[in-house]
Structure 1
Amino acid sequence: MAFLQLTTIIVEDYDEAIAFFTQALGFELAEDSPAHTNDGRAKRWVVVRPPGAETGILLARADGDQQIAAVGNQHAGRVGFFLRVDDFDACYQRMLAAGVEFLTEPRTEPYGRVVVFRDIAGNRWDLLGA
């Protein structure tokens, strides 16, 4: 058996990213541990995930010019993340109230309801549901 354990989002600040994912999106903080870069500098190992999910997101603070330039553009302006929820309307309203930036109005597609939003780093996501 195999499964996707983690994917990474490059962020500017750990704590701001944790707050966005846990408060605005309702994710769980699965881990926040001290760690070190390959060359020995201090960093944090921060993982968030939707409640009950096995796959998580590693929030990695940008380190160096190349990573700083990638913040918010990890998918070259395309939607790169897809969050499926059971109750689209309730989740959409909660995210609106939390100040999440939506780039489109909700619409209905053959695969369900969808609306595009940005995460704290500027990456585009689809919120999907019935």
Structure 2
Amino acid sequence: MVRDFYATLAQVLPVLLLAFVWDSGYLARLRGQERRRRRDDPVRGVRFWTKGRVRAYALLVSTAILADLGLCVLVLAGLVEDGWIVRALALTGLGLALVTLLTRVVSDIVAATRATDPAPAENAGAPGPHR
């Protein structure tokens, strides 16, 4: 039963890593964003998630997922004994990956469904690309 826990986690973690890093052009979208601080750009600036912080957090989460995967493989190979600390570490890595993905999914959905600004009055009658 214990081996099933680690074997399942060792199969799920790479999928979560792929979803975290390579989903829907995340890195391409990030490359194209300015992400300056709000105090530098009051209109389009971000409050906290500047590119440097996004980089550090993404590298931290990716490293944690890979370390968690390595831990599972070491347990399956019999090089690390199963115990409550090892299980807690494995579940913490899984939790970090899931919370990070949930946060990104929510922020992407909110950004994609946010109401757009109405067109300025001078362009109100101009034909758009869909007409």
Q: TM-score, normalised by structure 2?
A: 0.25
**Larger radius of gyration between Structure 1 and Structure 2:** 2
The structure, 1 or 2, with the larger RCO (C-alpha pairs under 8 Å, 6+ apart) is: 2
Which is helix-richer, 1 or 2? 2
TM (norm. structure 1) is 0.25
Structure (1 or 2) with the greater strand fraction: 1
